[in-house]
């Protein structure tokens, strides 16, 4: 049995929760969820990926070409093992939004708190942009 069998999966689009289609339950932003380490290695091999300095046991990789930010939460972070893919998408009306895909292997209360923190980040960003 895989360590990641019990993953809680969230799809967040501008702070709203949407269920994930069955075929996407074992994928995150086009990557098969075999292990967080394998996804991390695969992304790091892609050309143009920028790794941000390590911060609080979270590996951050930026894919500017595909407008994706990857966050890998690793031990001893309480949310480990977790991966978050944040994709910037443009709607038909030319507005921009963030789509977060969170695959969380921690306990449900920790996963819920992590999702809430991304929701809050989105709300704060939207308020800031609307105030400009």
Q: What's the pLDDT tens digit per position in 23-48?
A: 455 777 888 777 788 888 889 999 99
Q: What does the mean pLDDT of the chain come to?
A: 79
Query: What pLDDT, on a 0 to 100 scale, did the predictor assign at position 94?
Result: 82
Q: What domains sit in the chain, N to C, each tagged with a CATH number?
A: 8-130 (3.30.530)
Distances, alpha carbon 6 to alpha carbons 66, 82, 107, 108, in Å = 28, 11, 9, 10
Residue 91 has phi, psi (to 5 degrees) of -80, 175
């Amino acid at each position: 049995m895989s360590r990641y069998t019990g993953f809680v999966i969230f799809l967040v689009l501008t702070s709203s929760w949407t269920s994930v289609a069955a075929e996407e339950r074992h994928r995150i932003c086009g990557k098969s969820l075999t292990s967080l380490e394998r996804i991390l290695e695969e992304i790091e091999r892609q050309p143009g990926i920028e790794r941000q300095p390590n911060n609080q046991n979270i590996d951050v990789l930026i894919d500017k070409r595909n407008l994706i930010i990857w966050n890998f939460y690793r031990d001893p972070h309480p949310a480990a093992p977790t991966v978050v893919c944040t994709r910037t998408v443009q709607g038909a009306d030319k507005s921009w939004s963030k789509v977060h895909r969170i695959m969380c292997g921690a306990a449900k209360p920790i996963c819920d708190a992590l999702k809430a923190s991304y929701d809050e980040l989105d709300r704060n960003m939207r308020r800031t942009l609307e105030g400009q």
